[in-house]
Amino acid sequence: MTERDLLTQQMVLAGAGDRRAFRAVYDSTRARIYALLCRMLRDEAMAGDVMQEVYLSVWQRRATFNPDFGLSPMGWLTAIARNRAIDRLRAGARAPGEIDIGGLDVIADEVSALERLERAEQQARLTHCIQHLASHQQSAIRAAFFDGATYVELAHRAKVPIGTMKSWIRRGLLQLKDCMSS
């Protein structure tokens, strides 16, 4: 059974009200979600606050998770975390920073060899596909994802018309999806 399968089972059990399964979901995902929130919000205290909101939202909406709807547990959690972080950013709590992946203190990533392999394969595929995009498309998509930046903000940063930015991102995402699906 893969790490994703196990996490899916745990999420379904958590959806049924199983607190121990919910704890298992938290343990399996917390370091990834926290890293994402720290990167998006660039503030550890705020990341901790939003982290609580994310998992309490997951607990509240637990019964709506269904793997048949196309989202993996990690995909679902990532979407919820990004939406919460974007809400904070757009509420003016903190201005998004420049594009800068990394730069945070890192803990030892205590995961199984199998999980490392799965992540490595997924990461390698994504990296491969992103590298096939033009550099301006890569930057724009990463800035949108990690900074929660809108078309208007991205166009302003890149000093291009909004229509141009829309074209960059739309084409980049389509190419990325085709590559990931192939």
Partner 1 sequence: MSDQTEPTPDPLDTLAAEYALGVIEGADFEAARRRYDSDPAFRVAVHDWQEHISGLALELPAREPPAAVLNAIISSMDAVTPGPVAFQPSLWTSLTLWRGLTAAGVMASVALGAALMLNAPVRAPAPIAGSPATGPSQGQPFSAALVGKEGAVLFYAALDPAREGLLVIPAADARGVTGTPHLWLSRGDDDPRSLGVADARAARYLPLTKELSALIDGDAILVVTVEKSVASPSPDAMGPVLAKGTLSPMERAHQLMP
Name which of residues 69 to 88 contact partner 1 (CB under 8 A): 69-72, 74-76, 78-79, 82-83, 86
Query: In the complex, what is the shortest distance from the CB of residue 161 to partner 1, in angstroms, rounded to a whole number?
Result: 15
Q: Judging by beta carbons within 10 Å of its beta carbon (0-12, 13-18, 19+), is residue 97 exposed, middle or buried?
A: middle
Question: Rule CB under 8 A: is residue 136 a binding residue for partner 1?
Answer: no
Who's near 93: CB < 8 A, 6+ residues apart?
A: 41, 46
Given a contact cutoff of 8 angstroms between Cβ atoms, the answer to whether 41 and 47 are in contact is: yes
Q: Does 149 bind partner 1 (CB under 8 A)?
A: yes
DSSP string of 75-89, one letter each residue: HHHHHHHHHHHHHHH
9 touches partner 1 by CB under 8 A? yes
Tell whether residue 101 is a contact of partner 1 (CB under 8 A): yes
According to the binding rule CB under 8 A, does residue 178 interact with partner 1?
Answer: yes
Told to check if 131 binds partner 1 by CB under 8 A, we report no
CB neighbour list of residue 6: distance below 8 Å, 6 or more residues apart: 28
117 binds partner 1 (CB under 8 A): no
Instruction: State the nearest-atom distance from the C-beta of 160 to partner 1, in Å.
Output: 14
The least CB distance from residue 136 to partner 1, in Å, is 14
